[in-house]
Structure 1
Amino acid sequence: MKVAVFSCKPYDQRTLSKAVAETPSIELSYFESRLSSETMTLTNGFDAVSCFVNDNIDRHVIQYLADHGITAIALRCAGFNNVDLSAAKAANIKVYHVPDYSPTSVAEHAVALIMTLNRKTHRAYHRVKEGNFALEGLLGFNVQSRTVGCIGTGRIGQAFCRIMRGFGCRVLCYDISPNNDLVDIGCEYTDLETLYSDSDILSLHCPLNASTHHLINKNSLSKMKDGVMIINTSRGALVNAQEAIDALYTGKIGYLGLDVYEQENSIFFEDMSSHIIQDSVFQLMLTFPNVVVTGHQGYFTQEALDHIATTTLDNLIAHAEEKPCLRLLNP
């Protein structure tokens, strides 16, 4: 099976090459460019493609893939909002994903954002490097005994809740499918209204779909405490960026930690340091001292990369051998 691997950075190639060395039936070709209507001709001559979070696999691209013999799309991520699953099913292209590459990685990064925003370690680091040891402006709060709201308690949300319970927090959860294991450790499932009103810290761990698009907006923000901390390590479009900025100005949002951004596909995963970023909303967000943005690195641990590589290859092998696979999204 010949596979075109898109959005492939050097670290992806290293881990995939190591994993595929033990799988001679699969041949990988690596492309740093993203799969889109502009690059889809690169798939000519391949049997399958492997893609990441910002590849644009819409109906037009899928039809081209089907017309040129592609039978499988192996996503190297859990989310699949960038794939038209119904078009893929109609074109008889199987779509696989990696649902559990390392829930702990993303959960720990969410906690890192919380602690960075709270204790302002990013600002303290630069002060000390400049010989400034003043503490004014670095005041934080004890996370212990605070109320933490978690929207979405899948694998990542569960890992996050367990960590925050370890901090001694009251943890409120919202999910359409409550998890009894979390209840057993003291987490409380509640409705969104209660979660919004009671949470000091709110962390998003839900998928992006029609019901969660811009979940954080002026209406939901109006129900929250003044000075609430909001963390998003899931998908950028869960947060209405402009309305979040408005809430930063008024003090409704006291802290904002983002590892994802709605328009990230034009800037994230690239070195933009010598470019003018053509996104005024994103640029404005970076000017706030109580905002921390990272470039979609929540998943980025060696354990996660290794698991993504091996699971992606397992998915491709299952497809080639026509074996059942629980990670198939459109059976």
Structure 2
Amino acid sequence: MRILAYHVQPYEEKAFVNWAKNNGIEVVLEKGLLSVDSVDKAKGFDGVTTQQVIPVKDEEIFKKLKEYGVSQISSRTAGVDMFDGLLAKNYGVAITNVPRYSPNAIAELAVSHAMQLLRNVKHINSAMRNGDFTWNKDLISREIRNCTVGIVGTGKIGLTAAKLFKGLGAKVIGYDKFINEEAKEVLEYKDTLDDLLKESDVVSLHLPLFDDTYHLINKENIKLMKDDAILVNTGRGALVNIDDVIEALESGKLFGAGIDVLECETMYVNQKVDDEKIKGTVVEKLMSMDNVVLTGHFAFFTETAVDNLVSTSLDNIKNSVETGKLQNCTNM
């Protein structure tokens, strides 16, 4: 068995080497992205894995993979919206993912963002840079134990975030179309998203991106939120209309926002960019705001999560080749 790994990052190499050694399987590491220009490299392999936010939606990619007998793309991600699932299915190419990988990684950053905003850390740092160390009344903060935290999306990650917030003393409520019975022990479910937004001091998003979750948070339902509410998004960028969020932050409707993902993140994620590239964009705007904590898709970025992502994606290929059965498949 031979597996080709596209877009391998230096921080992933150890996990790839360990998995290959432990399983006695050849894994070839390729630094470039899976694209029309690189798909020919997949010839002679039993499966490919990749991790990228750049879209894989060119028909020629799937046509070539079918020609080479490669019937699976194993994504080293939970979300698979970067792939054209229907096009892949038409060419008999399964898209598999890693639905569960260290939920603590994502949940911990969500809590961290919320706490920085509640404690006015960026405001305090800005004042200190100007030599102002006074206990300004505008910098007085709230304690999490006096807050209601709304978890939108109560799957594995959302539940983990709920447990962490509850452990800090917060009242935790939740909303999800699909009730997680385990979550009932930690949070109180609300009947509608609107109900959750109205009651929450902190709203944390932990949802996949589908047509019905696109711009789930927007100008209309931001109006329902408390005037001093905090929004945290460590899910998918397009879950929120970021222009509407910025407007609410500037007007004071929202107290703060913790953002790890953006709809436009392909312009900057996991790369070095100069000022000109982000000039005039929402990225530049958010970076300049003291009531925003912005990170560049780093929520997953822990040693445990990276190892889980690599090993599970390779297991997906190994098991499908050896048994003929797909696991964690999203499109077949």
TM-score (norm 1): 0.91
| 1:159-191 alpha-carbon deviations (Å, 9 max, x no partner) | 011111112222221111111222123433331
- The 5 Å alignment of 1:31-42 reads 31=31, 33-42=32-41
| 1:9-66 alpha-carbon deviations (Å, 9 max, x no partner) | 10012221222122223322222x3323454344344432212240422152323322
2:111 and 2:93 map into 1 onto residues whose CA distance is 38
Describe the SS at the equivalent of 2:203: strand
- Give the C-alpha shift of residue 313 in structure 1: 1.8
69 and 189 in structure 1: CA distance in 2 versus 1, 3 angstrom threshold: same
- Give the C-alpha shift of residue 308 in structure 1: 1.5
CA contact (8 A) 1:173 1:190 kept: no
Amino acid at match of 1:203: S
CA contact (8 A) 1:7 1:51 kept: yes
- Alignment pair present for 1:43 and 2:57: no
Amino acid at match of 1:82: M
Amino acid at match of 1:49: V
2:239 and 2:275 map into 1 onto residues whose CA distance is 29
- Give the C-alpha shift of residue 127 in structure 1: 6.7
Gaps of 5+ in 2: none
Describe the SS at the equivalent of 1:144: helix
325 and 48 in structure 1: CA distance in 2 versus 1, 3 angstrom threshold: closer
1:326 and 1:247 map into 2 onto residues whose CA distance is 42
Amino acid at match of 1:58: K
- The 5 Å alignment of 1:161-200 reads 161-200=162-201
2:81 and 2:22 map into 1 onto residues whose CA distance is 31
- Give the C-alpha shift of residue 2 in structure 1: 3.0
4+ aligned runs moved over 6 Å, structure 1: 126-131
1:291 and 1:123 map into 2 onto residues whose CA distance is 10
CA contact (8 A) 1:35 1:56 kept: no
- The 5 Å alignment of 1:289-304 reads 289-304=290-305
2:128 and 2:228 map into 1 onto residues whose CA distance is 27
The percentage of aligned residue pairs carrying the same residue is: 31
- Give the C-alpha shift of residue 299 in structure 1: 1.0
- The 5 Å alignment of 1:187-226 reads 187-226=188-227
- Give the C-alpha shift of residue 268 in structure 1: 0.5
State which drifts further: 99-108 or 1-10.
1-10
1:207 and 1:309 map into 2 onto residues whose CA distance is 20
1:160 and 1:212 map into 2 onto residues whose CA distance is 20
| 1:242-292 alpha-carbon deviations (Å, 9 max, x no partner) | 111111121112101111110111210112257632562221222211011
2:101 aligns with: 101
- The 5 Å alignment of 1:173-322 reads 173-273=174-274, 276-277=277-278, 280-322=281-323
- Give the C-alpha shift of residue 326 in structure 1: 3.5
2:274 and 2:228 map into 1 onto residues whose CA distance is 31
Amino acid at match of 2:150: G
1:244 and 1:59 map into 2 onto residues whose CA distance is 32
57 and 159 in structure 1: CA distance in 2 versus 1, 3 angstrom threshold: same
Describe the SS at the equivalent of 1:255: strand
Describe the SS at the equivalent of 1:257: strand
Structure ranking higher in helix proportion: 2
State which drifts further: 205-214 or 78-87.
78-87
221 and 53 in structure 1: CA distance in 2 versus 1, 3 angstrom threshold: farther
- Alignment pair present for 1:82 and 2:53: no
1:4 aligns with: 4
1:212 and 1:75 map into 2 onto residues whose CA distance is 21
- Give the C-alpha shift of residue 132 in structure 1: 5.8
- Alignment pair present for 1:111 and 2:127: no
State which drifts further: 272-281 or 195-204.
272-281
Describe the SS at the equivalent of 2:212: coil
Gaps of 5+ in 1: none
CA-based RMSD of the aligned residues comes to 2.3
- The 5 Å alignment of 1:17-166 reads 17-31=17-31, 33-60=32-59, 61-122=61-122, 124=124, 133-136=133-136, 138-166=139-167
2:24 and 2:157 map into 1 onto residues whose CA distance is 33
TM-score (norm 2): 0.91
CA contact (8 A) 1:5 1:30 kept: yes
Describe the SS at the equivalent of 2:277: coil
CA contact (8 A) 2:94 2:329 kept: yes
| 1:204-230 alpha-carbon deviations (Å, 9 max, x no partner) | 001001000011111111111112100
Amino acid at match of 1:317: K
Give the number of aligned pairs: 330
1:151 and 1:240 map into 2 onto residues whose CA distance is 16
Describe the SS at the equivalent of 2:144: coil
326 and 189 in structure 1: CA distance in 2 versus 1, 3 angstrom threshold: farther
1:38 and 1:283 map into 2 onto residues whose CA distance is 32
CA contact (8 A) 1:172 1:190 kept: no
CA contact (8 A) 2:46 2:321 kept: no
